[in-house]
Amino acid sequence: MTPSRRGLAAATLLTIAATLTTVAPATAVQTTTTASGLPIGDADLTETRSSESLAKGVTLTRIVRGTEPAPADQINTTPRGPWVVNVLTIDPRRARGQLQATYGADLARVEKTSDLVRTAGAVAGVNASFFTFTANPAYPGEQVGLGIFDGKLLSEPLTDPAEANLLIDAKSNKVLTGHLSWTGQLRNRWTGQQLPLEFINHPPVASDTVLFTPEFAAATPSGAGVEVVFDRRGCVVRTATARGTTLTKSQFAVQATGEDTNALLALTERGCVDRQLAVADQRGRKVQLHKGLYGVTGRYQLTSNGAVVVPAGSGSFFARNPRTIAGTTHDGKIILATIDGRQTTSVGTTMDETAAVAKALGLHDSINLDGGGSTAMARADGTLINHPSGTGGAERAVGDAVAFVPN
């Protein structure tokens, strides 16, 4: 479930508690079987829950609701399920570590969630942002919306109110859910001349001015237009009348196409420039970009202040699908959850059902992350916890992941 770039986002911003973990021996505890539980499907369905400790303050709970496999032709309609939900709960009062967003070798490539979790040395994690996927084969991992990694704004939030963001401050242990906004521009230090930026690390289309960082890919996108490369001080290293180059770790580039090319050339003809990037929360308050800050993008807020806020909708996105959920409880616990779907052994959830599950899990504020074939949850050694919807349970490579990394 990965829509094309630049068109998602919505919700409410609230500060809540967040992160922390230390590795401990895993233990398993089977709970009782009950005929009540999650508010999805028929009320008489049997529901079984089992839990295990993955680390101090980090618990994995598996919920199975319904006992009989669904007829293949009734997956989208059956009230009998079954549903398989995996819930990762992080208690910041007991755990030690950080919740972080992580990507692979660069932003443009994709990697499996299990590999991202293992490489990060995390206790566990889930897939995160919507990404370009098949819409741009050259850069399939490019995020569709906000991307902040260790304080660097590497992908800008969208103006589409459907976008919902998860913002993680690992230093202060705060998590926000909602919709962020941004502004970006270049300013010539000598002349004061300014030039707005349309995108960050996103191939320009018609008449765009785009900032590229070394994290994007092995090389910047090629094609017609102008590209100016700057050093770490913002002074021009080289100017080219065609796009596409490699960057060192201390450089950045700005590409312009169409009518924007002359403006970029005029701005950089003499002197050096400053990059001015700013992020604000839904109330317009500045979000300080600092080391230890992470942000990923989802689609639609599920709950806000304890109330279900997902909008009404129709079409395949709102129908039953595998889902990935992230949010916080009223008492500050962090929850990452997956719901398997498109299978006779777990049918998935509609957006309404997803919000109902989030509320039943105690999520005071929560968002819907990328789902469908992307939905995955993995352990420290890279083994999958859930069962992805790909053929034979095959795991899809994704753009990024959210994982809990112990100190």
Q: What are 185-197's pLDDT values in tens digits?
A: 999 999 999 999 9
- pLDDT, tens digit, 9 for 90 and up, residues 37-47: 999 999 999 99
Alpha-carbon distance of 322 to 364, in angstroms, equals: 21
- pLDDT, tens digit, 9 for 90 and up, residues 266-277: 999 988 999 999
pLDDT, position 169: 87
Per the prediction, the chain carries an average pLDDT of: 91
The average pLDDT across 331-355 equals 97
Output the pTM of the full model. 0.91
Secondary structure, 3-state, 48-87 = EEEEEEEEECEEEEEEEECCCCCCHHHCCCCCCCCEEEEE
pLDDT, position 16: 27
Tokens 């809540």 map to which residue? Answer: 16
pLDDT, position 5: 44
Q: Which two tokens stand for residue 108?
A: 């443009």
Q: Which residue from 113, 117, 119 is spatially nearest to 141, judged by alpha carbons?
A: 113
pLDDT, position 171: 78
For Cα atoms 24, 28, 33, give the angle at the middle one, nearest 5 degrees.
150
pLDDT, position 36: 66
Burial of 277 (0-12, 13-18, 19+ CB in 10 A): middle
Q: What are phi and psi of 185, to 5 degrees?
A: -160, 160
pLDDT, position 1: 54
For residue 377, the surrounding DSSP H or E stretch is: strand 377-379
Alpha-carbon distance of 116 to 118, in angstroms, equals: 6
Alpha-carbon distance of 403 to 101, in angstroms, equals: 6
Q: Which residue from 274, 254, 251 is spatially nearest to 263, judged by alpha carbons?
A: 254
- In this structure, the chain runs to a length of 407
pLDDT, position 282: 87
Statement: residue 351 has pLDDT above 90: yes
DSSP string, 230-266: E-TTSBEEEEEEEE-----TT-EEEEE-TTHHHHHHH
The average pLDDT across 145-172 equals 94
Alpha-carbon distance of 249 to 246, in angstroms, equals: 10
Q: Which residues pair with 17 in a beta bridge?
A: 174
Burial of 351 (0-12, 13-18, 19+ CB in 10 A): buried
pLDDT, position 196: 98
The average pLDDT across 254-277 equals 96
Alpha-carbon distance of 47 to 75, in angstroms, equals: 18
Statement: residue 360 has pLDDT above 50: yes
What 3-state class would DSSP assign to 359? helix
Burial of 268 (0-12, 13-18, 19+ CB in 10 A): buried
Q: Which two tokens stand for residue 155?
A: 């992908």
Cβ atoms of 341 and 375 closer than 8 Å = yes
- Torsion (CA) 124, 130, 131, 135 in degrees, nearest 10: 140
- pLDDT band per the 50, 70, 90 thresholds, residue 21: very low
pLDDT, position 20: 27
Q: What are phi and psi of 357, to 5 degrees?
A: -65, -45
Statement: residue 32 has pLDDT above 50: no
The amino acid present at 228, given as its one-letter code, is V
Statement: residue 11 has pLDDT above 50: no
pLDDT, position 168: 94
- pLDDT, tens digit, 9 for 90 and up, residues 162-220: 999 999 988 777 788 999 999 999 999 999 999 999 999 999 988 999 999 999 999 99
- pLDDT, tens digit, 9 for 90 and up, residues 120-146: 999 999 999 999 998 999 999 999 999
Residues 25, 30, 31, 35: is their CA dihedral positive or negative? positive
Alpha-carbon distance of 390 to 407, in angstroms, equals: 34
Cβ atoms of 265 and 250 closer than 8 Å = no
pLDDT, position 33: 60
Statement: residue 24 has pLDDT above 60: no
Cβ atoms of 156 and 200 closer than 8 Å = yes
Q: What are phi and psi of 108, to 5 degrees?
A: -80, -25
Give the start-end residues of each E strand in 147-299. Answer: 147-149, 152-155, 163-169, 174-178, 181-188, 194-196, 199-200, 209-212, 223-230, 236-243, 252-256, 273-280, 286-287, 293-299
